[in-house]
Structure 1
Amino acid sequence: MDMRGPARWWRRKSTPAKVEAYTRSSFHFFAVLEIAAIGFTGLWQAEAWLALLLMVGVHGVMCSVTASRALDWTRGRRERPVRLLWTLGAITAAVGCAALAIAQYGPGGEDVEDAAGGVFGVVLIFGAGTIALGVRGRRQVYALVGGSTAGAGALSLALGAPGAAALAATVAVLFGSAVLSFTSVFSVWLLDAFYELDEARETRARLAVAEERLRFGRDLHDVLGRNLAVIALKSELAVQLARRGRAEAVEQMIEVQRIAQESQREVRDVVRGYREADLGVELAGAHGVLTAAGIRCEVTGGEPAGLPGEVESALAWVVRETTTNVLRHGDAGWCAVEVRIAEGRVVLTVQNDGAASARSGAGGSGLAGLRERLAAVEGTLEAGQVDGGLFRVVAEVPLVTTGASEVMA
């Protein structure tokens, strides 16, 4: 059997999705654990073992279904399963009563009493822990644990259990239901925290893009706002002079033409400055942003001296885009950036351990745009998953001029 399929399926999941899958599988496993727990009570030696096993099996399946629906509710994917929660509570009470009845009035023997008593405690504990997934608020959880504990004591006494046995069952249910209910509440809290963290990371990436757009808009406004106002005033003056037949109107329009051409040059400068990134600035920015996001970032090699402007700009855009992908698409905990010179080529390598989620951004327009930028300087870009669960982006650009390579050598 090829185990790479399940491993690949797991690696494709984001960190919140992995936590959710783990949480769901844990609560589904509780159905198996519930049956296994009563196996230590001597169930297999009891005369009524088949009836007890069927009751526990039905209860375990109901717990598994309820846990799945309740987790969907906590993620906002369906309405709260109120009827299912009440049904599980009723089945829990019914199985508990039946187990006590078998212990008190069923076939005699110490094995039967021990097994039935174990079933009684186990179903109440697992039932309370599962129902806790579908409630919100500490008071409701306290009420659930307290109700299960009180019910255990009341049922034990009502069906004729000795006082010592009733007390032991009550304490066991109190401790077990409290631990399992706390586990359920904590699991939901942890799952919510992971999803909120992932949403915050996505929001931070969008804000960074929005801030850059605002900066670009402010630069354009500063360049065009004043010049367009002057053009409007001089055009209006030229119209008035032309209506009066004065020759100065031509001079005003010549001035308007000059200002318009100057505005074109300034706009090109702004766009060029926006499109041409600085490699050193981007390397420092990547280290700062990733570190602030809780991702350990290692930058080695630094910025080689003497890089041609177009080469530096292309590589800087690779750093910017890959950093954005790590923040937006990845669930990395570590990222490494390396710049080196080999055989007359500048090689930039960016890799991180968030390979599963980074794959979602590998085929997007971002990397396609980077390939276009690198192609303009005869460079290449390779991106994909490598051995060890890493996602690696490698950009190679030849040194355009011999003088530049000599400086860096």
Structure 2
Amino acid sequence: MVGSIRRWQQRHWRGRSKAERVELHTVVTWYCTPWVFLLTWLLIPLLGGLDRRPVPLVLGGLLLLVGTLQCATANRLTRPVLDHYLGRAKLPAGAQYTSAVLLGLALALVLALTALHAADPVTTRLAIGAGLLPFGLLHGLIVPVRVFLRRSAVLALLLMAVSEVARPDGLGLFMTGAVTAFGALLSLLACRCGAWTLAVLWEAERGREVEARLAVAEERLRFGRDLHDVLGRNLSVISLKSELAVQLARRGRPEAVEQMIEVQRIAQDSQREVRAVVRGYREADLDIELAGARGVLAAAGINCEIHAETVELPAEVQSALGWVVREAATNVLRHGDAGHCTVELRIQEGNVVLTVENDGADHPSPTGNTGHMRSEDHAGGGADRIPGSHGSGGSGLAGLRERLAAVDGSLEATAVGQDRFRLMAEVPLVNDEASRHNDEASRHKDRDTEASGAR
């Protein structure tokens, strides 16, 4: 049973983005609200306040049936009306015709019970509110607010007039108007506030997508500019010297060989410069990535703690670990709902160990797989997928394993408990570097031993 609930949660909740989760929560709330009011404002009052004569019982049963049909119709129209409000699809003309007819029937039955004195005044007033809510929840999204308020005012005056004719009562007249106004305003606030929040969220989501595309385009332009700066002058020189060499060769001049040697040298320089440009884009500085991860996570409302030992690492090791920090921070942002993230860098037994742990991981799978993997695992296996991600298997861990394998490193991704995820990269230090750290540790140990002996 627990496994089924977790699979449902993974498929229908954790597999959605934050905006999709808010929309699902809002829609489910709109589904449930009419039924809650049907139960509390119609069914329960009718059970206690309806006359037990045959005609009132028939009218009360019909009112319950109409109320049930109202809720079912409102549930059926919720999604189309929301899509219409958010601009996703156009609502067909007359979509609320059935709802309007059911509302009219419900109000007519309530007024009939009032005229026959078949129910107490509180029951009939609550029944009016229960009938208005299913219609008003959706009507408030279809028409402008001013039109909704104007129609609600007209309906309230009409109900007050008919109710006064059916059962003259000054206090009852006021209560009818108050319940009608309350039902209309509650419907308007419930639908408009939820739908406006969704519209803002989806607008922000589209803004993030546009920002990401612009960032990619800007990076491409910057890369193109760098390549142009590197190759533009050299290619022009190569073109000129090649043309000069051709002219000299046609005249049988020995300087043609010197010009071609110069062309070869410039071409080799250009090749090295292009490699340097590409290497600069592929490399990541560990200190910069740590600072960037802290800033990005803090901007997303995630508390990030970084504990890093001060140590000079080889450039290739810094680059590999920098990519681990970048990928880990990206996954914390994209997957799960982390509130806290801890990054730790330490030297342990001749190895540099980088650990990134957050509390926003998904629950482990029912099969008991914790997501444990190492860089030695097969690149095409299921370990490529980081727990908490929503894809069918990404290239994040596979790319990190390739980078760490180049420096003889390993990668381990483990789900810790129910809601924590740990990514740990371990890279052996170069022999000289490891020896230096071991020597320092030995010297400290010797000094401690001598001090103890002296005491």
Which residue in 2 is equivalent to 1:85?
A: 96
Q: Distance in 2 between matches of 1:324 and 1:217?
A: 25
Q: 1:205 to 1:349 in 2, by over 3 A?
A: farther
Equivalent positions of 1:57-68 (< 5 A) are 57-68=68-79
Provide Cα deviations, 1:125-165, integer angstroms capped at 9, x if missing partner: 34212321334x43244335334434433543565654542
Which residue in 2 is equivalent to 1:41?
A: 45
Which residue in 2 is equivalent to 1:115?
A: 123
- Structure 2 alignment gaps of length 5 or more: 363-386, 442-455
Q: Distance in 2 between matches of 1:302 and 1:349?
A: 10
Which of 299-308 and 324-333 deviates more?
324-333
State the shift of 1:318 in Å.
1.2
Instruction: Say whether the 8 Å CA contact 1:69–1:81 is kept in structure 2.
Output: no
State the shift of 1:372 in Å.
1.0
Q: Which amino acid aligns with 1:338?
A: E
Note if 1:296 corresponds to 2:302.
Answer: yes
Which residue in 1 is equivalent to 2:6?
A: 4
State the shift of 1:114 in Å.
4.3
Which residue in 1 is equivalent to 2:375?
A: none
Equivalent positions of 1:100-111 (< 5 A) are 100-105=111-116, 108-111=117-120
Instruction: Say whether the 8 Å CA contact 1:128–1:148 is kept in structure 2.
Output: no
Note if 1:97 corresponds to 2:105.
Answer: no
**3-state DSSP class of the match of 2:312?**
coil
Within the candidate set 403, 406, 409, 1:376 is matched to 406
Larger RCO, structures 1/2 (Cα 8 Å, 6+ apart): 1
Q: Distance in 1 between matches of 2:216 and 2:285?
A: 17
Equivalent positions of 1:8-407 (< 5 A) are 8-9=10-11, 10-36=13-39, 37-46=41-50, 47=52, 48=57, 49-105=60-116, 108-111=117-120, 114-135=122-143, 137-157=144-164, 162-292=169-299, 294-302=300-308, 304-329=310-335, 332-356=338-362, 358-360=388-390, 363-383=393-413, 385-404=415-434, 406-407=436-437
**3-state DSSP class of the match of 1:340?**
strand
Q: 1:399 to 1:363 in 2, by over 3 A?
A: farther
Q: 1:214 to 1:304 in 2, by over 3 A?
A: farther
Q: Distance in 1 between matches of 2:315 and 2:205?
A: 36
State the shift of 1:26 in Å.
0.8
State the shift of 1:66 in Å.
2.1
Instruction: Say whether the 8 Å CA contact 2:353–2:426 is kept in structure 1.
Output: yes
**3-state DSSP class of the match of 2:331?**
helix
State TM-score, norm by structure 2: 0.79
Alignment length (residue pairs): 404
Q: Which amino acid aligns with 2:140?
A: A
Q: Distance in 1 between matches of 2:171 and 2:130?
A: 18
State the shift of 1:239 in Å.
1.9
**3-state DSSP class of the match of 1:306?**
coil
State the shift of 1:353 in Å.
4.2
Q: Distance in 1 between matches of 2:221 and 2:264?
A: 29
State the shift of 1:40 in Å.
4.6
State TM-score, norm by structure 1: 0.87
Instruction: Say whether the 8 Å CA contact 1:331–1:354 is kept in structure 2.
Output: yes
Q: Which amino acid aligns with 1:97?
A: A
Which of 163-172 and 260-269 deviates more?
163-172
Q: 1:257 to 1:232 in 2, by over 3 A?
A: same
Identity %, equivalent residues: 46
Q: 1:72 to 1:289 in 2, by over 3 A?
A: same
Which of 325-334 and 283-292 deviates more?
325-334
Q: 1:50 to 1:185 in 2, by over 3 A?
A: same
Q: 1:331 to 1:170 in 2, by over 3 A?
A: same
Provide Cα deviations, 1:284-341, integer angstroms capped at 9, x if missing partner: 112223333x232424223641222221111101112233334445554443322223
Provide Cα deviations, 1:90-127, integer angstroms capped at 9, x if missing partner: 2112211122123214xx4444x543443223212342
- Structure 1 alignment gaps of length 5 or more: none
Please provide the CA RMSD for this pair: 2.8
**3-state DSSP class of the match of 2:247?**
helix
